[in-house]
């Protein structure tokens, strides 16, 4: 009995001794178990030992790296195949350098529900990579001087926050084929490639990051949808924020960012759809502030854009809305090229080194209610068809307020003040109506080519009023007060009607051409009222007061009827030519002859003339007919 007791005691004692030795051994190799799932390692552990611990400890949920010696762990490359949170003491460094170069991946995450917090990771090929995983957190790390900083592939629900990611050879953060990724409040500086690269991903949120001095783009996005909010993006070697896609539908919200001093464009979109660019500060970029190419459904709203090449550039796009922006001190304010159905509205565009707005080869676009002032060349310079330019205020633009070439454009209800020229229009079937054009150094309106209309415009204190070179143009109901010529028209088949002209220059209306109609105009002139050179023109029901000759015509077969030429200082009507008809005119108080004719076969009939001591009609030529002249006091 005693023997059996001793034997049992020895067996029990042996088991107790074995367990004590086992736990002592665990303490010696610095593995501690705070609870059943948390373990720690120190600098004496190499990556094989740590990997073995991860792979063969079933209950591990947290692994902590301590700083017991130097805090430096060399050549740690781990493959994470289970849900573990990795933490460390302050100052722990994972150094992947091998034979003087970057090597391996510090954390290669292949499992869901992994967090990596607090490490300094240097000298690796990749600092942290993930593949085909869900619920990943990367927090408060310094990931610098690697080839790649953070590489996220085929992942969902990833958060990258409060990290410093600097001086990596390629991209700082690379997100590829992933969804629901947040990159928040990180510092990304001096990476040799793009700071943040997003490819073929959806619902990516980039916010509150400082992205500076990277050699490539600050943010580069391809075939992805994202939000970029409240980031500082400056001094990068490429574009500040660049979006490029070949998918038919994307979606981007770029809001509240500061984008400045980048060597490319500030914000760049190519082949993109459904983008919203709002309330950003975009300044001092070497190329364009905001550049949109081959894109559609883009809103550019309430941005402050200054000191760039083009403030906003839109090329080969459709349905771009540019509204409520301040575009100041760029080379060109807004440039719209080969685009259609775009809208430039309620912007303040001023003090740009060249033009306020360039619009070239564009169709069905609207330029509405903008304040365009103090630009060094043109207010609006452009070309295209079916565009609407209306309700803009253009002040003190150096050369021309609106200079446009194209067809069927509508220039309406603009205010144009203090330019060398007001409106210069080249094309067909354009309409210029209800504009106020004041204090212009040359012509208020110039029109070249055919079938255009200038109607109900008010021109005040301009050197000259309206110049027309073309056929079948309509000039009607304009109010013109000029320091020189009122209207100067060349060529044929034009119609001038119901205009009110006060000219302080040589001509109220000057015309060269044939088959033109001059109807119901009121002209006050310091020299000639109407001065016409041409044939088969019709002058009817005009009212003329001049300090020289009321109506002067040099040409043949013109009809001059029902006009009032009153109180002219020289002749009421002077005609040089043949086969002209002067009929039913009222010629009162003219200081010299009421009518002077030099030519032959002219008809002077049914005119009413003030009776004076001098002869009322002076004729030089043969076969002229005078009939039914009425003399009145």
In a domain, 347, yes or no: no
Give SS3 for 572. Answer: coil
2-16, 197-211, 453-467, 616-630: segment of lowest average pLDDT: 2-16
At 610 the pLDDT is 84
Q: What is the pLDDT of residues 480-528, one digit of tens each?
A: 998 888 999 999 999 999 999 999 989 999 999 999 999 999 999 989 9
Instruction: Judge whether residue 32 has pLDDT over 70.
Output: no
Instruction: Judge whether residue 14 has pLDDT over 50.
Output: no
Q: What is the pLDDT of residues 57-87, one digit of tens each?
A: 999 999 999 999 999 999 999 999 999 999 9
Q: What is the pLDDT of residues 460-478, one digit of tens each?
A: 999 999 999 999 999 999 9
568: confidence class by pLDDT, cuts 50, 70, 90: confident
Give SS3 for 506. Answer: coil
At 245 the pLDDT is 85
At 582 the pLDDT is 97
In a domain, 382, yes or no: no
* Domain total in the chain: 4
Mean pLDDT value across the chain: 92
Q: Which has more pLDDT, 508 or 19? A: 508
CA separation for the pair 367, 333 (Å, rounded): 13
In a domain, 129, yes or no: yes
Q: 155 with 274, same domain?
A: no
Tokens of 240: 């500040």
Q: 176 with 281, same domain?
A: no
27: confidence class by pLDDT, cuts 50, 70, 90: very low
In a domain, 385, yes or no: no
Q: 251 with 167, same domain?
A: no
Instruction: Judge whether residue 15 has pLDDT over 50.
Output: no
Q: 164 with 264, same domain?
A: no
Long-range contacts at 41-45 (CB < 8 A, ≥ 24 apart):
41/65, 41/66, 42/66, 42/67, 42/68, 42/69, 43/67, 43/68, 43/69, 43/70, 43/71, 43/72, 43/73, 44/69, 45/73
Give SS3 for 501. Answer: strand
At 99 the pLDDT is 86
Q: 162 with 268, same domain?
A: no
Tell me the CA distances in angstroms from 329 to 203, 285, 479, one per residue in order. Answer: 35, 12, 35
Q: What is the pLDDT of residues 223-243, one digit of tens each?
A: 999 999 999 999 999 999 999
Q: 156 with 237, same domain?
A: no
Instruction: Judge whether residue 249 has pLDDT over 70.
Output: no
Instruction: Judge whether residue 406 has pLDDT over 50.
Output: yes
> DSSP string of 119-153?
-EEES-SEEEEEES-EEEEEES-EEESSSEEEEEE
Q: What is the pLDDT of residues 276-312, one digit of tens each?
A: 999 999 999 999 999 999 999 999 999 999 999 999 9
Mean pLDDT for 130-149 is 98
In a domain, 459, yes or no: no
Q: 90 with 201, same domain?
A: yes
Q: 587 forms bridges with which residues in the sheet?
A: 565, 609
Q: 567 with 540, same domain?
A: yes
Q: 21 with 52, same domain?
A: no
Q: What is the pLDDT of residues 79-112, one digit of tens each?
A: 999 999 999 999 999 999 988 888 899 999 999 9
Query: pTM of the prediction?
Result: 0.90
Instruction: Judge whether residue 576 has pLDDT over 50.
Output: yes
248: confidence class by pLDDT, cuts 50, 70, 90: low
CA separation for the pair 608, 224 (Å, rounded): 82
At 633 the pLDDT is 74
Last residue of a domain, one of 215, 248, 266: 215
**Helical spans, DSSP H, in 132-217:** none
At 591 the pLDDT is 79
Instruction: Judge whether residue 330 has pLDDT over 70.
Output: yes
Identify the domain containing residue 590 by its residue range.
527-633
In a domain, 150, yes or no: yes
In a domain, 623, yes or no: yes
592: confidence class by pLDDT, cuts 50, 70, 90: confident
Mean pLDDT for 179-188 is 98
Q: 551 with 568, same domain?
A: yes
Q: 8 with 50, same domain?
A: no
In a domain, 402, yes or no: no
Mean pLDDT for 357-374 is 96
Instruction: Judge whether residue 563 has pLDDT over 90.
Output: yes
Last residue of a domain, one of 215, 245, 267: 215
Q: 23 with 35, same domain?
A: no
């Amino acid at each position: 009995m005693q023997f059996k007791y001793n034997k049992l005691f020895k067996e029990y004692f042996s088991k107790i001794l074995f367990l004590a030795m086992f736990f002592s051994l665990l303490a010696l190799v610095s593995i501690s178990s705070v609870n059943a799932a948390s373990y720690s390692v120190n600098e004496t552990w190499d990556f094989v030992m740590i990997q073995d611990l991860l792979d063969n400890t079933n209950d591990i949920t947290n692994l902590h790296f301590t700083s017991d010696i130097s805090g430096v762990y060399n050549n740690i490359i781990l493959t994470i195949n289970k849900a573990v949170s990795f933490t460390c003491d302050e100052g722990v460094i994972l150094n992947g350098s091998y034979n003087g170069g970057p090597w391996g991946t510090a954390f290669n995450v292949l499992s869901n529900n992994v967090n990596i917090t607090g490490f300094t990771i240097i000298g690796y090929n990749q600092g942290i990579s993930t593949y085909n995983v869900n619920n990943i957190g990367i927090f408060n790390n310094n990931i610098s001087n690697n080839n790649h900083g953070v590489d996220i592939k085929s992942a969902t629900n990833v958060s990258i926050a409060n990290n410093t990611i600097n001086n990596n050879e390629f991209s700082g953060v690379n997100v590829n084929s992933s969804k629901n990724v947040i990159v928040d409040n990180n510092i990304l500086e001096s990476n040799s490639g793009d700071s943040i690269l997003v490819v073929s991903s959806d619902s990516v949120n980039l916010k509150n990051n400082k992205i500076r001095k990277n050699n490539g783009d600050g943010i580069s996005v391809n075939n992805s949808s994202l939000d970029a909010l409240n980031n500082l993006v400056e001094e990068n070697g490429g574009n500040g924020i660049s979006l490029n896609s070949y998918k038919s539908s994307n979606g981007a919200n770029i809001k509240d960012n500061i984008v400045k001093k980048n060597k490319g464009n500030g914000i760049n979109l190519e082949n993109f759809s459904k983008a919203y660019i709002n309330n950003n500060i975009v300044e001092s970029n070497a190329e364009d502030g905001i550049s949109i190419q081959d894109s559609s459904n883009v809103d550019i709203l309430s941005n402050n854009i200054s000191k760039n090449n083009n403030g906003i550039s839109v090329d080969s796009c459709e349905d771009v809305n540019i509204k409520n922006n301040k575009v100041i001190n760029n080379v060109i304010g807004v440039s719209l090229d080969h685009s259609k159905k775009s809208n430039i509205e309620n912007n303040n565009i001023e003090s740009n080194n060249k033009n306020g707005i360039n619009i070239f080869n564009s169709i069905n676009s609207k330029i509405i209610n903008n304040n365009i002032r103090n630009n060094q060349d043109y207010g609006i310079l452009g070309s295209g068809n079916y565009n609407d330019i209306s309700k803009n205020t253009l002040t003190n633009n150096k050369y021309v307020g609106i200079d446009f070439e194209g067809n069927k454009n509508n220039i309406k209800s603009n205010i144009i003040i203090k330019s060398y020229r007001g409106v210069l229009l080249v094309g067909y079937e354009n309409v210029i109506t209800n504009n106020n054009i004041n204090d212009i150094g040359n012509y208020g309106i110039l029109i070249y080519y055919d079938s255009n209309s200038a109607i109900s415009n008010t021109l005040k204190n301009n050197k000259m009023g309206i110049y027309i070179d073309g056929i079948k143009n309509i000039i009607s109901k304009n109010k013109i007060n000029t320091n020189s010529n009122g209207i100067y028209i060349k060529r044929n088949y034009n119609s001038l009607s119901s205009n009110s002209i006060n000219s302080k220059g040589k001509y109220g209306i000057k015309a060269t051409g044939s088959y033109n109609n001059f109807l119901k105009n009121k002209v006050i002139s310091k020299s000639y009222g109407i001065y016409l050179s041409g044939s088969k023109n019709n002058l009817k029901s005009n009212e003329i007061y001049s300090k020289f000759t009321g109506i002067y015509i040099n040409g043949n077969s013109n009809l001059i009827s029902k006009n009032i030429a009153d109180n002219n200082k020289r002749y009421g009507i002077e005609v040089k030519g043949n086969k002209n008809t002067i009929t039913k005119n009222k010629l009162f108080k003219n200081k010299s002859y009421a009518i002077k004719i030099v030519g032959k076969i002219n008809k002077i009939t049914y005119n009413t003339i003030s009776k004076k001591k001098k002869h009322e009609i002076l004729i030089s030529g043969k076969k002229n007919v005078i009939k039914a002249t009425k003399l009145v006091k």
